[in-house]
Chain A
Amino acid sequence: MTISSQTAGAIGAAAFVLPALGFAIGPVFKSTPHRWEVVGPTDMFSDTNYVPVVLTVNPTIGEAGKTTAYVRRFNPAIDTDPYDEGTPYIAISTRCAHLGCPVRWVDAAERFICPCHGGVYDLLGRRVGGPPVRPLDRFYTRVTGNNVELGPRFSVNSQLRRFSPRDPGQPLDGIGQYLYPSRPGAQKL
């Protein structure tokens, strides 16, 4: 009697606790489809300076789902890192690698500067000052016809090696890439 009633109680409790937990945790394991979005014609961008474009990260929440990226044509004189070989355009995410505030490209200083806690990045998005733990994230780019398209985001370490998109504040150098593992919901292209 005791055993069977306790078993029945456990089954009854599990019957509502487990679905509820799965319901709450489920979105963590859901992979989001990769989006490609046209941001402008090819002649809109130069290979010496950045042009800001607005793209949609999440189409379901209106204005809050949009973000800004800085786009520039690939320039073999600047983009000498082997990982960028064959990339038609360089698209830098404005999401600061410290805590996710929006950075701004300051032309006079030739730096990306974050208003929140003073993160500073150079032309390639590499950290040159402040609290950020890795360079600015980037977007995959491709050219279709006459248009530049931006794809999914990816993160880079200080050698500009590519990783699946991480959240801000998570370093990728050394042991960092193992301490902050890739998530099932956000995969590299």
Chain B
Amino acid sequence: MPRVPKVPAPPVPAPLREPPPRPGQSNGKGGPLEGAKHAGITAVDWIDERTSLSGGARWMMFRKVPKGTNWFYTLGSATMFAFLSQAVTGVFLAMYYRPDASGGAYESIRYVTNEVFLGQFVRGMHKWGSSVMVILVFLHMGRTFFFGAYKYPRELNWVIGVVLLILTMVMSFTGYLLPFDQRAYWATVVGVNINGTGPLIGPYLSDFLRGGSEFGATTLSRFYAIHMLLLPGAIIALIGAHLYLVAKLGTTAPPWQKPLPRSEELNEAEV
């Protein structure tokens, strides 16, 4: 027997209708889940009313992206997450590390690697993560270059990116010394001497890096301070500027993306 379609209930007259809940208020229906949801909304509203942050968040996150955007466009984010991973693991490594050139630095790294619970893992994350970050920086740079995304009006973002590349390299160079084993020592000796081959200011530059005319205890503490205090702040600030410009200028379509025919474009606009 065919089922009779259900007739929609007649509309309730306006005076009899239950009033909708006021903003920030539950109408009494719904369980604890509803209450938690409203508590969250209330807290976010409280902050947003005093800061107007939601506008900025919307501006940053709900941007228009061109057609043809693909996985290559995630390399920048990947680089940033590699940096965040370095920052987090670095903070926890700093809890054990001692920049002591007379043996303490090597001993503290040995202790982290062999004795601390998950120490080898966290140190490995930091060590291999640094290579991953350098590789991702170059892939991101290659994507930008080959897609022509450095062209007007995005030249300044390319310049900031190059500064970030150099800072990443300085980060790698200063971090290389910190384990203070044979490889670290000789890599730094060679690296500082390469600096010294610059004419006129080279000799002073390598004295500045070493903190004296010979490699010494100040070299290690200097590299440590540059590695964990100076550069992270600079990199974070420049990533902020980089991201601001990305959101401000928008991303580019890939070079093989053809513009839509005029008529289609109009149709799209109507929809």
Interface, chain A (partner B; CB < 8 A): 24-25, 27-28, 30, 32, 57-58, 60-65, 99-101, 116, 165-170, 179-183, 185-186
Contacts and interface: CB of A to CB of B under 8 A. Distances in A.
Interface string B133-155: 00000000000000000000000
A66 to B, nearest CB: 11
Contact of B216 (A25, A65, A186): A65
6 contacts: A61-B102, A61-B217, A101-B189, A167-B196, A169-B196, A182-B203
A169 B193 CA distance: 7
Given A100-B193, A167-B193, A28 B207 contact: yes
Given A27-B207, A99-B190, A180-B203, A170 B196 contact: yes
B207 A62 contact: no
Contact of B208 (A25, A62, A101, A169): A25
Given A64-B215, A99-B193, A100-B193, A185 B207 contact: yes
Nearest to A102: B186
Contacts of A166: 203
Contacts of A168: 193, 196
Contacts of A101: 186, 189-190
Nearest to A165: B213
B218 interface: yes
Contacts of A170: 196-197, 202-203
B203 A167 contact: yes
A179 B214 contact: no
Nearest to A57: B214
A78 B148 CA distance: 64
Contacts of A60: 101-102, 216-217
Consensus secondary structure, chain A interface: loop
B224 to A, nearest CB: 14
Nearest to B186: A101
Contacts of B207: 27-28, 183, 185
Contact of A185 (B102, B199, B212): B212
Contacts of A186: 213-214
Contact of B215 (A58, A99, A169): A58
List the 9 closest A-B pairs by CB distance, nearest first: A186-B213, A185-B213, A169-B197, A167-B196, A61-B101, A179-B199, A62-B102, A28-B207, A27-B211
Contacts of B190: 99-101, 116
A181 B203 CA distance: 7
A65 B211 CA distance: 14
A58 B216 contact: yes
A115 to B, nearest CB: 10
Interface string B186-209: 100110111011011011101110
Nearest to A168: B193
Given A60-B216, A65-B216, A167 B102 contact: no
B103 interface: yes
